[in-house]
Structure 1
């Protein structure tokens, strides 16, 4: 995965899932409860980002 994608996913995770980062902590902090609507919003944002990036190529 390239840096652009990693940055985009981290931004989506912060905004929609309220996660600080997507790096494994190898502890119970790796497991978070998330609302279905929050996950849906994050997936929609990732899809839109992919669509936008695809149009730029």
Structure 2
């Protein structure tokens, strides 16, 4: 059985979740309607690192989305 290539949207969501899990140790990005599950204390340097990683990932895919001010 042939595997289907994930859609660009699914690939993007998977990358965002992967960054959140590795950088912030967040299990899911789904809203769970519990403050202790939906809000996280995160260091500013961790936010910066995650944003830089996401920016570079976008740039490497050539989407051009990060070029807008």
Output the TM-score relative to the length of structure 1. Answer: 0.87
Higher relative contact order (CA 8 A, sep 6+): 1
- After TM superposition, what 4+ stretches of structure 1 lie above 2 angstroms from structure 2? none
Unaligned runs of 5+ in 1: none
RMSD, matched Cα: 1.6
Q: Does 1:26 align with 2:33?
A: yes
Unaligned runs of 5+ in 2: 1-7, 64-69
Q: For residue 15 of structure 2, what is the aligned residue in structure 1?
A: 8
The structure whose Rg is larger is: 2
Higher share in helix: 1
- CA distance, structure 2, for counterparts of residue 15 and residue 6 of structure 1: 14
Output the TM-score relative to the length of structure 2. Answer: 0.73
